Amino acid sequence: MNVIHNIMILRKNISEARELGKKIIFIPTMGALHSGHLSMVEAARKRGGDNEKNCIVLSIFVNPLQFGPNEDYQKYPRNLEQDSSLAAEAGVDILFAPPVMEMYPDGKSLTTVNVAELGDCLCGAKRPGHFRGVTTVVSKLFNIVQPDIAYFGQKDYQQYAIIRKMVEDLNFPVQLILAPTVRENDGLAKSSRNVYLDPQQRRQVAVISSSLREAAALIAKGEKNPAVLRDKVSRRITSESDGKIDYIEVRRADDLSSVETIDCGIVIAVAVNFGSTRLIDNVLVEV
Ligand code: AMP
């Protein structure tokens, strides 16, 4: 595996891979790699069988642009050495880990990319500017890496929906793949931020995924009222944990618009604060 910190060197390595007829598969991350990230490397490796030659590029960049002033940019876990060995073991070909000055030489970006509406609701309403930071850095990374295929995790479903819209609206020539959420044994979605939880919080947080599973089961039994589902999820989380609910929303899966009655594919998305740790999760339900 090549570890690259510089955009020009990365471009050179990627064009060499292309000349060998390889497809460029891209997995952007903020590092502190866990099995959620590594499951996408595994899926990328298994793509296309023996006929397809791939070059798997995984980026690690804690993007200052997507953190609010009171968020955890400074304390976000960083461990490039451990991440490098995990990525190499998993089968990554190129690890791209640029310093902030390589991505933002002026210390900021005067040019930004914003997806209206989809970026203003759910987490976007609570974290102003967050998704603009995400879509700006993902645009930059897409322009730098020029991938044929890029993987995003369902754990951050709103992020995926926004990037999908950006790719459509701005004609990025990339195919997006949504990877299923990888979970701990008790259902907690794997996240680099789970290390912030203290033991008591860690025991309680499983209620998030179990309440979402329960809501999905109610839909399967015929429940069509989003308010009933929101209420169920809310009651369970507040009665079984000290979590403070940030939002519980039932939205159309394709464009995140509100639904009055459940008659299409939906996502139930939640954000819950445990102390200063904000956890998100969601379930997709086909109807
Ligand atoms: P992050 O490093 O948290 O910015 O995540 C990088 C990518 O990994 C994003 O596409 C996430 O949605 C995805 N990801 C994070 N956690 C998980 C998980 N538990 N299961 C699947 N994908 C994940």
Distance from C-alpha of 212 to C-alpha of 201, rounded to nearest angstrom: 18
For the residues 221-250, what does the mean pLDDT come to?
A: 98
Q: Is any atom of ligand 1 closer than 6 Å to the C-beta of 83? A: no
pLDDT at 50: 74
For the residues 179-194, what does the mean pLDDT come to?
A: 98
pLDDT digits over 38-73, tens only?
Answer: 999 999 999 977 777 999 999 999 999 999 999 999
pLDDT digits over 99-150, tens only?
Answer: 999 999 999 999 999 999 999 999 999 999 999 999 999 999 999 999 999 9
Both tokens of 206, joined, read: 């499983």
For a substitution probing ligand 1, which of 26, 30, 37, 188 has the most ligand atoms within 8 Å of its CB? 37
37 is an active site residue? yes
Mean pLDDT, the chain, whole residue set: 97
For residue 58, count other CB atoms closer than 10 A to its CB.
29
pLDDT at 147: 98
Spell out the SS3 assignment of the chain: CEEECCHHHHHHHHHHHHHCCCEEEEEEECCCCCHHHHHHHHHHHHCCHHHCCEEEEEEECCCHHHCCCCCCCCCCCCCHHHHHHHHHHHCCCEEECCCHHHHCCCCCCCCCCCCCCCCCCCHHHHCCCHHHHHHHHHHHHHHHHCCCEEEEEHHHHHHHHHHHHHHHHCCCCCEEEEECCCECCCCCECCHHHHHCCHHHHHHCHHHHHHHHHHHHHHHCCCCCHHHHHHHHHHHHHHHCCCEEEEEEEEECCCCCECCCCCCCEEEEEEEEECCEEEEEEEEECC
For the residues 183-200, what does the mean pLDDT come to?
A: 97
CA–centroid distance, 19 to ligand 1, in Å, is: 30
For the residues 159-185, what does the mean pLDDT come to?
A: 98
